Structure 1
Amino acid sequence: MTAIAVNDVCFGYKTQSILSQIYANIPESKIYGLLGPSGAGKTTLLRLILGRIKPHSGSITVLGSEPGINNPITGYMPQDTALCLSFTVNQTLIYFSNIYRMSQKKFHERKGLLSSILQLPGDNQLISELSGGQQKRVSLALAFLNSPRLVILDEPTVGTDPILGNSIWNYLHSCCREGVSVVIVTHYIEEAALAHMVGIMRNGKLMEEGVPNDLLLKYRETNLENNLNSGEDIDTSLFLNVWILLILIRKNFSKFLQFNVSFLIFLIPAFQALILCVLYDRDSIPIKAAIFNEEPNPQYSTRLLNSIKQVDAYYVQPVKYTSLSSAIDAVDKGYMTAAVWFHQNYTNALDARVEGAQDSDIDNKTLSESSIHLWLDNSNFLYANGLIDSLRLSMYELMGDIFMDKNMSRVEAPLKVVETIYAENSKLSDFLLPGYLISFMYLSQVSLSSQLLIQERKDGLFERSLVAGVGHQLVFISHFITNCLMSFIQIILMLFISFIVFQITNYGSIELILFLVMTQAANAIAIGLLISAIVDEGFVAVLISIFITFSQLFTSGAIFPFELVEPNLRQILYYSPIAMPTESLRNVMLRGWNLYHQYVFHGFALNVGTGCLFLVLAMIIFRRNS
């Protein structure tokens, strides 16, 4: 009986031929040794047998089926250890036992047997802490964990001591007696003599195939170097196995919790919401002004300073100085935002100015002495304008009071706010919060997701998991679901801090806010996955993520009003992944609109549409680049 039949198989990349007219018959319940120097094509042949790639011509049958069909009952050990360094020994064994759907009883039986044969290290030891030989033992144990009918091993005894090597070969022969077929790649021809049959490959061809002792006489070599290459593609079923998907999600969470840097990135949105609420959720912000009052008996100046009005959150906080030069010096040194000088004749001059309000002949001296003189530091634009607005409103109120004191008609501005339709008494933090929720969720998930597929391809478990029956789709979808679940936790933390702890103003539905930010997170995850599917290096992905995020942060209206952007550019930037969703969320929180409003739905639609597009592109590129 034949376990593996290879008939006239050819394979190559573009113009380079790798395998040419390969014929091989690997018998059942036997050990087949495959020898050959580096570049002979051994690795490519193994990958063809495992279904990782397809031949250009010829055919292969494995246990009576096409390659890849029987991988769940095939044990595979690549040349490198193919282990996740952040897992413990027990976590690694459990991960694959779940993929193979082994019962607890069978798992513990197999684990105990393999531990005694291979002398496995302790369950709680991290793979990263093991020696090369110990990692090799764990890797070999995985190949036999599911009681396979076919085992494919690539140099299993390299890095092991001779006693363990003998133990491994004894175990292989005992497996053959139980009906297991074994394909073993080795560069030690004396070791291959322990196999039942040996095939020798050179330059992409199977030169000889026969009994070891006969070939030893013909090809007397002590060491035929072998290298394992990786990176091919595999055809996987589109059927989404829920069980394996849950195992992958669990693995993703386990790996995430072991990386402190990732955990810090995870906390960015909640931390930024906390910073916003602590620093900017203030009802009043004092602006210090150095006051030099030269009046000997101050009246109007005192009334003004005692009735300072607040505009938005800003108001003037007077600090008295004894001279004009010292007040100006305080502004020069950055201690004060402005120096304010009241002339010694300020009250009398202001009286004269009020009484002569209808007189166009008021002299310049009176106008100057009745004016408040400012020396302003405009480097902090917001503070400078807040100070001027506060003084202007305070002066307006004082002038009205003086007119009434003199039984004169009070001059009122011809302006009346009949009703505040939206967001009455809102503050700066109320305006900023929607942008913070959208932007920092976007930053966090793009940064995290942009590393996922890069790490997955470099992860030792990736190749082995694919051979065990885990498809690219399952790996991809597991990362998307994992990050969506983490996003949900992030959003709950942000909303709890904002609305429960600090009670930021909100007129909309909490459920709708959660839903909109969740769609933004899903869109960010899709963009991050697309980046990680295209890029091979983590630091490049980080740079791209930073560029994409920060270029939008200050041009999308998330922090600064979108109306400040030049009109022609605004029409383009409006469709960025942050701008429109920020406007939608702000309209929900500050205007109380629902999802069916045009200027709420458009942000949701943008996220869903672009997110689906990015996901499809990322999946296609991930399959090709894996």
Structure 2
Amino acid sequence: MPQDLNLHLRLSIWETLKFYGYLFGMDDALLRKRADELIKFLQLPPESRNIEDLSGGQQRRCSLAVALLHDPDLLILDEPTVGLDPVLSKSIWDRLVEMADAGKTILITTHYIEEARQAHIIGLMREGVLLAEESPQALMEKRNCDSLETAFLQLSQLQEYNTQKSTEPKAYPVGPRPPVTIEQDTWFKPRRFKAQVMKNVFLLKREKIFVAFVFLLPIVQMTLFNTAIGQDPKNLPFGLVSYDSPNGFEDCTRGNYKGCLLDSNYNYSIACKYRDHLIRRDFSVREYKSLEDARSKLWHNNIWGVIFFNENFTRALGERIDKRNRLDDETIDMSIMDSWIDLSNQYIGNMVKHSVTLGTIDFVHDVLKDCNISEKLFDVPITYETPVYGSMIPKFTHFASVAMLALCAFYLPTILTASLMITEKMGGLIERIMVAGVTFMEMTTSMLLVQCVVMLIQNILSLIVMYGLFDNPMIGNYFTLFTVINLLGIGGMFFGILIGVGCSTYYMAAYFGTASNIMLVFICGLAWPVEGAHYLLRYVSWMFPLTLTTQGLRGMTARGWPILHPTVLAGLGSILVWIGLFLLFVLILIKSEKGSWISAK
């Protein structure tokens, strides 16, 4: 029984006793009997009460119950009666004396010297030095005093006197180490594994809000990604200035600019038709009287671009179409629209240029169609056939959807595993269950088992949202895709174990997890293609956990590659190698840190 509580606060009294009873190999009947006896003897509240809802004294009594539960031959107690009322404290000491008389070995540390009178042997320690070790009665007789406090005071004064006379530290002989009597070859016991799994299930049942958050998180992330990322901006303000008619766009009433501009009775500005094509491209068209006014709005970021129609633009365009090879330079220049675009935002600027270009091509085709002239006459001399993979109008969402899926599959288990390990470490829980015999293998495998169930549900929900609710490309096999992202999740769990073993605080784990997350997003081609990175990064990016796996996932979803495709196999091999590396790093930390990973202290 440590001085700190070192119990799972979210478990009830009965769940706590059941957990440790299973760790100690007790059967259900004996466990039930011992639990009832200890609850009555230690005057604990109803067994359904959570540990966190108990008073400090009740929590310490519950901790003592855990220590007494399996009737151990060796009992080590650190200040077991602190905070308890005198009557209960005396009752506990009486029980300890009975256990000692029955052949038990009990080692107690306490600051209350007088309550140690009931011990068979007492050791007085000060500043790391053992001043005396004998029975309380013999000690008081030797010091010729009637209280242990007086004896301790005399010994302390004698220590001070000897220290002032000599600064040399006193050497104490070290005897031979006693033989190890702990059971050997116990790296994995099914009963302890079962107890750990049961405890994790109990905790999940207690944390209903947390569990709901864990399952809702992938749904929210995938939904926000598909609704906020990768969609082309809509209703961008765009300016038009036309000197082609006296009143600009005021004369553009619907129907008065239809027909062929080559007809002799066509007296309207063709700029009106162009305005309609921009509106179809989801631009919010704003009309200005002067070019200076429009460019001023562009300068102040009120619009993303402006197009200017010269005087006689309609006539010059008609001559360009009609005469073609018999044009002078002035007529050609008059039939060209001038455009200024804000390119400070690369994506929006290029999107505006692309939309304006496509809108202009559609506009020219529309004009030629009205005049019964083949559209191919003024078309770009290339035809894009049906794409081998993908669609004619690709979206950034389609590129990034797999990256988002891989990132969530890897990092959600990482965060959950690391947080659980840090929580148990900071609460001293790992330390206490290790004393109870639990091995690292049992603790991690039980955690991985429960985490796998959570991960499977999370990944199913992610796939449903990503490919069921939203239109992302998926022409491969769903079972193969599900298998690969679950393998990524297992890699994330081992990475979370590495963070939990290597970090001693939530802050350190948060910094390490956040930094690695950002690094992988940038280096592994998740936010932008690896081909666009600096050449030095391109050479090393394939070494990181998510690069090859994400490339394989893209091939599976957008190209229909099977699992035996070399790129997909390379992705599988990459994450398997990283799982092995994470496990190796964990083992190295455990060996080098010499047990410091067990406790945050």
May I ask how many residue pairs the two structures share in their alignment?
537
Deviation at 1:538, TM superposition (A): 1.9
1:90-147 deviation digits (Å, cap 9, x = unpaired): 3322221232343443333222211221111343444344333222211111111123
The residue matched to 2:324 in structure 1 has which SS? coil
Match of 2:332 among 367, 377, 380: 367
Which one-letter code corresponds to 1:136 in the other structure?
R
Match of 2:86 among 149, 162, 173: 162
For the Cα contact (< 8 Å) 2:475–2:559, is it kept in 1?
yes
1:404-423 deviation digits (Å, cap 9, x = unpaired): 73757714434233442212
Match of 2:55 among 106, 120, 131: 131
Matched, 1:490 2:458: yes
For the Cα contact (< 8 Å) 1:527–1:614, is it kept in 2?
yes
For the Cα contact (< 8 Å) 2:19–2:198, is it kept in 1?
no
Determine the C-alpha separation between the residues in 1 that align with 2:406 and 2:486: 9
Q: Which residue of 2 aligns with 1:341?
A: 308
Deviation at 1:245, TM superposition (A): 2.1
Match of 1:383 among 342, 348, 354: 348
Deviation at 1:585, TM superposition (A): 0.9
Matched, 1:222 2:192: no
For the Cα contact (< 8 Å) 1:473–1:619, is it kept in 2?
no
Q: Which residue of 1 aligns with 2:358?
A: 393
Match of 1:609 among 549, 573, 577: 577
TM-score normalised by the chain length of structure 2? 0.80
Matched, 1:305 2:270: no
For the Cα contact (< 8 Å) 1:453–1:622, is it kept in 2?
no
1:547-567 deviation digits (Å, cap 9, x = unpaired): 111022123221222221123
Determine the C-alpha separation between the residues in 2 that align with 1:574 and 1:93: 49
Determine the C-alpha separation between the residues in 2 that align with 1:142 and 1:305: 80
Determine the C-alpha separation between the residues in 1 that align with 2:581 and 2:377: 64
1:451-498 deviation digits (Å, cap 9, x = unpaired): 343333222332221122211221233333333332222211211111
The residue matched to 1:183 in structure 2 has which SS? strand
**What is the 5 A alignment of 1:190-229?**
190-198=114-122, 211-218=135-142, 221-222=148-149
Determine the C-alpha separation between the residues in 1 that align with 2:505 and 2:184: 26
Deviation at 1:159, TM superposition (A): 2.3
The residue matched to 2:523 in structure 1 has which SS? coil
Determine the C-alpha separation between the residues in 1 that align with 2:497 and 2:45: 36
Determine the C-alpha separation between the residues in 1 that align with 2:89 and 2:320: 107
For the Cα contact (< 8 Å) 2:222–2:462, is it kept in 1?
yes
Determine the C-alpha separation between the residues in 2 that align with 1:514 and 1:332: 50
For the Cα contact (< 8 Å) 1:508–1:593, is it kept in 2?
yes
Q: Which residue of 2 aligns with 1:434?
A: 402
Give the 3 Å change call, closer, same or farther, for CA 262–372 of structure 1 in structure 2.
farther
Which one-letter code corresponds to 2:94 in the other structure?
N
Give the 3 Å change call, closer, same or farther, for CA 205–288 of structure 1 in structure 2.
closer
Matched, 1:622 2:590: yes
For the Cα contact (< 8 Å) 2:530–2:541, is it kept in 1?
no
Q: Which residue of 1 aligns with 2:257?
A: none
Deviation at 1:268, TM superposition (A): 4.4
For the Cα contact (< 8 Å) 1:315–1:390, is it kept in 2?
no
1:353-393 deviation digits (Å, cap 9, x = unpaired): 2344324x6233x2332122223222232222222222223
**What is the 5 A alignment of 1:267-278?**
267-278=216-227
Determine the C-alpha separation between the residues in 2 that align with 1:390 and 1:203: 80
Deviation at 1:258, TM superposition (A): 3.8
1:57-83 deviation digits (Å, cap 9, x = unpaired): xxxxxxxxxxxxxxxxxxxx1233322
Which one-letter code corresponds to 1:421 in the other structure?
V
Which one-letter code corresponds to 1:293 in the other structure?
S
TM-score normalised by the chain length of structure 1? 0.77
**What is the 5 A alignment of 1:110-129?**
110-129=34-53
Structure 2 unaligned runs (5+)?
Answer: 154-181, 246-266
Matched, 1:106 2:106: no
Give the 3 Å change call, closer, same or farther, for CA 324–412 of structure 1 in structure 2.
closer
Determine the C-alpha separation between the residues in 2 that align with 1:473 and 1:608: 19
Give the 3 Å change call, closer, same or farther, for CA 217–133 of structure 1 in structure 2.
farther
For the Cα contact (< 8 Å) 1:476–1:619, is it kept in 2?
no
Which one-letter code corresponds to 1:114 in the other structure?
L
Matched, 1:445 2:413: yes
For the Cα contact (< 8 Å) 1:309–1:391, is it kept in 2?
no
Q: Which residue of 1 aligns with 2:505?
A: 537
For the Cα contact (< 8 Å) 1:268–1:440, is it kept in 2?
no
Q: Which residue of 2 aligns with 1:563?
A: 531
For the Cα contact (< 8 Å) 2:15–2:202, is it kept in 1?
no
Match of 2:238 among 285, 289, 308: 289
Determine the C-alpha separation between the residues in 2 that align with 1:143 and 1:249: 21
Which structure: greater strand fraction? Answer: 1
Deviation at 1:199, TM superposition (A): 5.4
Which one-letter code corresponds to 1:246 in the other structure?
K
For the Cα contact (< 8 Å) 1:446–1:527, is it kept in 2?
yes
Determine the C-alpha separation between the residues in 2 that align with 1:436 and 1:83: 38
Deviation at 1:208, TM superposition (A): 6.3
Which one-letter code corresponds to 1:318 in the other structure?
V
Identity %: 27
Determine the C-alpha separation between the residues in 1 that align with 2:82 and 2:233: 72
For the Cα contact (< 8 Å) 2:411–2:489, is it kept in 1?
no
For the Cα contact (< 8 Å) 2:546–2:575, is it kept in 1?
no
For the Cα contact (< 8 Å) 2:73–2:105, is it kept in 1?
yes
For the Cα contact (< 8 Å) 2:400–2:526, is it kept in 1?
yes
Deviation at 1:530, TM superposition (A): 1.6
The residue matched to 1:599 in structure 2 has which SS? helix
Which one-letter code corresponds to 1:302 in the other structure?
C
The residue matched to 1:352 in structure 2 has which SS? helix
Give the 3 Å change call, closer, same or farther, for CA 222–81 of structure 1 in structure 2.
farther
**What is the 5 A alignment of 1:462-477?**
462-477=430-445
The residue matched to 2:377 in structure 1 has which SS? coil
Structure 1 unaligned runs (5+)?
Answer: 1-76, 226-233
Q: Which residue of 1 aligns with 2:66?
A: 142
The residue matched to 1:542 in structure 2 has which SS? helix
Deviation at 1:602, TM superposition (A): 1.0
For the Cα contact (< 8 Å) 1:87–1:126, is it kept in 2?
yes
For the Cα contact (< 8 Å) 1:435–1:558, is it kept in 2?
yes
Determine the C-alpha separation between the residues in 1 that align with 2:234 and 2:127: 79
The residue matched to 1:182 in structure 2 has which SS? strand
For the Cα contact (< 8 Å) 1:292–1:323, is it kept in 2?
yes
Give the 3 Å change call, closer, same or farther, for CA 588–206 of structure 1 in structure 2.
same
Deviation at 1:590, TM superposition (A): 0.5
Determine the C-alpha separation between the residues in 2 that align with 1:103 and 1:238: 19
Which one-letter code corresponds to 1:243 in the other structure?
R
Match of 1:358 among 315, 325, 330: 325
Which one-letter code corresponds to 1:331 in the other structure?
L
For the Cα contact (< 8 Å) 1:89–1:124, is it kept in 2?
yes
Determine the C-alpha separation between the residues in 1 that align with 2:536 and 2:135: 78
For the Cα contact (< 8 Å) 2:274–2:363, is it kept in 1?
yes
Determine the C-alpha separation between the residues in 1 that align with 2:419 and 2:551: 29
Determine the C-alpha separation between the residues in 1 that align with 2:191 and 2:243: 83
Give the 3 Å change call, closer, same or farther, for CA 186–618 of structure 1 in structure 2.
same
1:16-51 deviation digits (Å, cap 9, x = unpaired): xxxxxxxxxxxxxxxxxxxxxxxxxxxxxxxxxxxx
